[in-house]
Each structure stands twice: as C-alpha cells, then as structure tokens.
Amino acid sequence: MGLKVDQFREYVVRPVLRFLEPEIPYSEAAENLLVGTALQESRLCYLDQLDKAGRPGPAFGLFQMERATHDDHWRWIEARPELARKIKLLMADHPTDRMEQLRSNLAYATAMARVHYRRRTFPLPTNAGDIAALARIYKAHYNTPLGKATAAQFVKNYRGAGQ
C-alpha cells in the first residue's frame, strides 16, 4: 500500500509548487501533472527502481529520476539564484547526497520533478482536468518517446487512484 493520493497532493505537491512561486508559476494543471507523474512512475509506493539484479537505481524516489537528469537540472537551477535558494531550503539538513534526498525527501523530489517539466517548452492545458493532455505531456517530456510507459497507462493510473 502506498501514499494516499489526496494527502500527497494536499501536503506535498501543492505546498511545494506554491513555495516555488514566482520563479516557477503555480497552476492546477502542473499540480495534476506532478501527481500523475508520481502515480505513473512509482504508483506512490516505490522509492527505488531496482535493476535486474535487485540493486537500487538507476532511478530514485516517487518520481523515479535518474542521476544524469538530476545533475543536469542542478546546472540549470544554479543559474537561477532565487530558485536555487528555495530548492536548497527544501533539502534536509543532514549529510546525504542530493540523489538520496530524492528517496527520503518528498518535497525535494517534487521540486526536482517540477524543474524537469519547467525546463521544457510546452503549454500546460488550460483545462487542468484534461488528463489525456497531461498524459501526452508526461510521455513527451518525462518518460520520453523511447520510454516504456504510455500516455494510456498514465490516464489509467491517474483515474484508478481516485482522481
């Protein structure tokens, strides 16, 4: 059993997105996109992606972000001092590397997933409830055309979670 979707949305996703304003504008569509991404990537259950040998990685946290992606995002973030300051404030104050915080720190992982989408150039749907449009954005910009996930899976997982 994983996290309750409504609690994840209310206590993690929405507050993080509001905190990132104005550097990254809040929208209900962005909120739905991040909830759907976490549902698709981890079912809100898995903090690790296990390789074929059962070892952790290569993707981490509820949003299943890989190290190369994460590190590339930090290069972009560091060019934006106010955004960097805010994301650093979300980080836990203990000696773990940033990748580990994708597993252990839901706020940080959510901020990094939002950065992932913010770096891409696409309009969010004006209808925040257009899950099919959000699914297409997820497939094109998060999972990528070469990934195994499908937009149809995204829609199914989102709607199946009681959304």
* Residue closest to 124 by CA, chosen among 141, 104, 110, 108: 141
pTM for this entry: 0.93
Question: What 3-state class would DSSP assign to 115?
Answer: helix
The domains of the chain are located at: 5-160
Classify residue 93 by its DSSP letter.
S
Confidence of residue 1 (pLDDT cuts 50, 70, 90): low
| pLDDT tens digit sequence for 7-64 | 999 999 999 999 999 999 999 999 999 999 999 999 998 888 776 777 766 889 999 9
Res. 163 pLDDT band, cuts 50 70 90: low
